[in-house]
Amino acid sequence: MEEIIDQLRELNEPVPVPLELPEEETLVEIQEQILIHLPFGLHEFLLKVSDVVYGRLEPVTACDPQSHTYLPEVASVAWSLGVPRELVPLCEDRGNYYCVEEDGTVVLWEADTEELNEESWESVWHWARDVWLES
């Protein structure tokens, strides 16, 4: 995990308005808004690297309610499209959603079939290494 965090920090792209990392209280508020507990790996991801901008994928963020990557907004849209309610969206990708299961596994929900793809990643950190860093 630390290795992936270091790699993301190195690749972080400068942007005119940098993203912020959330405080613990902010994540509690988000859980109350979306009415679902954040899986541990996603919780940790948001606290440590949700301010990183890299590549074409834009994982969810937790600080700016006006952002198109704000977790409650992304979750609302994803769930309205048919993503199962027990999944917490991690990243929207061309209409498809990478989501985190309660046990921390990351799965891909495909919009065209409205079903989960067979591919999965053991954790948010495995997804970051195999998908986000490769994008």
Separate counts of helices (H) and strands (E) for the chain? 5, 5
86-134 pLDDT, tens digit per residue, is 999 999 999 999 999 999 999 999 999 999 999 999 999 999 999 999 9
Distance CA 124, CA 66 (A): 24
Side-chain half-sphere CA neighbours of 96 within 13 A = 14
Instruction: Kindly tell me the sign of the dihedral angle through the C-alpha atoms of 52, 130, 48, 94.
Output: positive
- Decide if pLDDT at 51 tops 90: yes
Q: Counting every residue, how long is the chain?
A: 135
pLDDT at 62: 97
Distance CA 89, CA 115 (A): 14
2-132 carries CATH number 3.40.1580.10: yes
53-81 pLDDT, tens digit per residue, is 999 999 999 999 999 999 999 999 999 99
